[in-house]
């Protein structure tokens, strides 16, 4: 039987209206995702979590086989 381990990662994108289309934020997130993928982590799902003062945090769930 396969066994898995799991990881959660939070991505703070700041004020969503100002930063969501900012290439710097996109590059940071993509670099993080690619690094995790290169280490065997598979993205299962990602969802936004609203925070205070109009800022947003995304939580991503990953898994990899042990």
pLDDT on residue 11: 83
pLDDT on residue 30: 87
Q: Which residues contact 55 (CB under 8 A, 6 or more apart)?
A: 12, 13, 14, 15, 16
CATH of the domain at 45: 3.30.70
State the pairing for strand pair 4-15/42-50: unpaired
* Count of domains observed in the chain: 1
pTM: 0.76
pLDDT on residue 8: 97
pLDDT on residue 29: 82
List pLDDT tens digits, range 8-59: 998 877 665 555 566 777 788 889 999 999 999 999 999 988 766 667 788 9
């Amino acid at each position: 039987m396969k066994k898995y381990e799991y990881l959660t990662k939070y991505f703070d994108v700041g004020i969503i209206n100002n930063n969501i289309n900012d290439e710097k934020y996109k590059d940071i997130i993509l670099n993080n995702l690619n690094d995790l993928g290169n280490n065997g982590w598979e993205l299962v799902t990602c969802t936004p979590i609203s925070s205070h003062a109009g800022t947003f945090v995304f939580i991503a769930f990953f898994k990899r086989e042990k």
